[in-house]
Amino acid sequence: MERCQLHILYTGRVQGVGFRYTVKSLAAGFDVTGMVKNLPDGRVELVIEGARAELVEFQKAIQDSEVGRFVQNEHVTWRPAENRFRGFEIIR
């Protein structure tokens, strides 16, 4: 299994609605590592690593969650995994 990294910048009303906490909760059900954090410009940044199929399913789970409706756009970038994460965390 080749690990890769999925980097997503979410725009919309994604701050102040429990977005990061929902993403962290969802991450527990997937074999992924990474982080989610608010950006000063109002976007939310998500960086996750794992098998590509697992990352795609995780992305879909976010879209289908209760906070998915607040997302206006996702800017998605795929990269090789850097293996820099242990677990999944919210960065403040």
Check whether 92 has a pLDDT greater than 90. Answer: no
- Token pair recorded at residue 54: 């697992």
pLDDT tens-digit profile of 59-79?
A: 999 999 999 999 999 999 999
The sign of the dihedral angle between the CA atoms of 48, 53, 58, 60 is: positive
Cα 25 to its chain centre, rounded Å, is 11
Give counts: helices (H), strands (E), the chain. Answer: 2, 5
Pairwise CA distance, residues 26 & 35, whole Å: 12
- Express each pLDDT in 6-46 by its tens digit: 999 999 999 999 999 999 999 999 999 999 999 999 999 99
Q: At what angle do helices 52-64 and 19-27 cross, to 10 degrees?
A: 140
Q: Domain 6-82, CATH 3.50.30.10 — does that match?
A: no
38 among known catalytic residues:
yes
Concerning whether 86 is annotated as a catalytic residue, the answer is no
- pLDDT confidence bin for 86, thresholds 50/70/90: very high
Closest by CA to 48, choosing from 13, 83, 11, 12, is 83
Set 38, 69, 83, 86: catalytic member: 38
Which residue among the candidates 20, 43, 73, 83 is catalytic per the annotation? 20
